[in-house]
Amino acid sequence: MGLVQAAADLGILEYEKGLDNMGASQPMEKDRRYDVVIIGGGPAGLTAALYAGRARVRTVLLERGAPGGQLLNTEAIEDYPGFDHITGPELAQRMADQAVKFGVDLETARVTAIRQHGDKKVVETEDGEYLADFVILTAGGEPKKLGIPGEGEFQGRGVSQCAVCDGAFFKEEVVAVIGGGDAALEEGVFLTRYAKKVYIIHRREHFRAQAILVEAAHKNPKVELITNSIVTEIKGEDGQVKEITLKDLVSGQTRPLAVTGVFVFIGFQPNVQFFDHRDHVEHDPLGFLVTDSTMQTSLPGLYAAGDVRSQLTRQITTAVGDATTAAIDAVKKLEAKKHEPTPVPVDIYGPTRPDLVGS
């Protein structure tokens, strides 16, 4: 049973039906003014929605597809507290249900831009604009793909982009790591805790990773480095990876390599393409947003949580932690803003009422 079918069976895909109440036929009927707009419906977004909803602030979560994000592509999760084993779609369903329970609007929308308008934020979508006091960006990102046959077919069934998440599923098995940067070398060595053999495959002669990481991989008896080679196809049986096809870029020859896991680390692209060029939002060299301890970015009122944020690691647990902090801080700032005293107009020409003259 595919993950999309599993999501449908659990009812997640039903959110796409009827929740998209942003059609062009009713642009004037819907009030799109919110206290908080959350962009992205993965674990971070759904957690932010939960906490904002519990605080009884008017909140909408905008997601271009079904709620769950990368969870919908995850076959099994065994590192989320409280669950020995749970599927990604099931966890996504539980998170979405809980957010809706507290009155959060979940809407299907493709966000195109975020911009400042006075002291408000305007979130532009393909179907109209939303106005908010605070925006929590939880749009995550996308691991870069190899773009080869079998990659999509075996995603979550042997193909992974997270050794920490999935390494334990490959005890005493043979796996391949694809990439030549720090992440590929670090994750490759990490996988030796579980796998009996790890191939690290790089398309160039020399690795881009730090020398100390390359040295650690060379010294590890479970690691074999394969350079000047690319993977051209991933093959499997009964829904599981069994083999990859290697092509030597020097000789041009191809050969099969038996593996049961393929870990792809060729880059990760955060979804941060929403900002007006006049609103510079601080980011790290890779494009991930930089935040303070409350998850607020350099643009006041804009928070970032989860995979879109610059941080040490990207896990479900770190995403929900980020989002909890962001939502609570936004709610506190919103309450403070609502209770600010109304400024008293000052007459720069002095008092004009007769009873005040000479007082």
Hey, what's the torsion of the CAs at 62, 88, 295, 114, to 10 degrees? -20
Q: What is the pLDDT of residues 86-128, one digit of tens each?
A: 988 899 999 999 999 999 999 999 999 999 999 999 999 999 9
For the question of residue 165 being annotated catalytic, the response is yes
Range with the largest mean pLDDT of 137-151, 224-238, 266-280: 224-238
| Predicted confidence band of residue 77 (pLDDT cuts 50, 70, 90) | confident
Q: Between these two residues, 295 and 285, which has the higher pLDDT value?
A: 295
Q: Which of 35, 105, 162, 307 is catalytic?
A: 162
**Tens digit of pLDDT for each residue in 206-221?**
999 989 999 999 999 9
Q: Which residue has the higher pLDDT, 99 or 280?
A: 99
Contact between residue 12 and residue 108 where contact means Cβ atoms under 8 Å apart: no
Cα separation of the two ends of the chain: 84
In three-state secondary structure terms, 29 is coil
pLDDT in tens, 31-54: 899 999 999 999 999 999 999 999
As separate numbers, helices (DSSP H) first and strands (DSSP E) second, the chain gives 7, 17
Query: How far, in Å, CA of 9 to CA of 2, rounded?
Result: 10
Asked about 162 being catalytic, the answer comes back as: yes
Is 166 designated active site? yes
State pLDDT tens for residues 227-245: 999 999 999 999 999 999 9
Tell me which amino acid residue 88 is: G
Instruction: Give the whole-angstrom CA distance, residue 338 versus residue 5.
Output: 45
pLDDT at residue number 142? 83
Residue % of the chain over a pLDDT of 90: 66
Right CATH for 3-143+268-337 from 3.30.565.10, 3.40.50.10490, 3.50.50.60, 3.30.930.10: 3.50.50.60
Active-site residue (options: 35, 105, 166, 322): 166
State residue 267's pLDDT score. 87
159-264 has the same fold as 3-143+268-337: yes
Under CATH, to which class is 159-264 assigned? alpha beta
**Position 116: which residue type?**
Q
Pick the catalytic residue from 105, 133, 165, 307: 165
What are phi and psi for residue 307, nearest 5 degrees?
Answer: -65, -15
* In the chain, where the domains are located: 3-143+268-337, 159-264
Q: Strands 128-137 and 33-39, how do they pair?
A: parallel
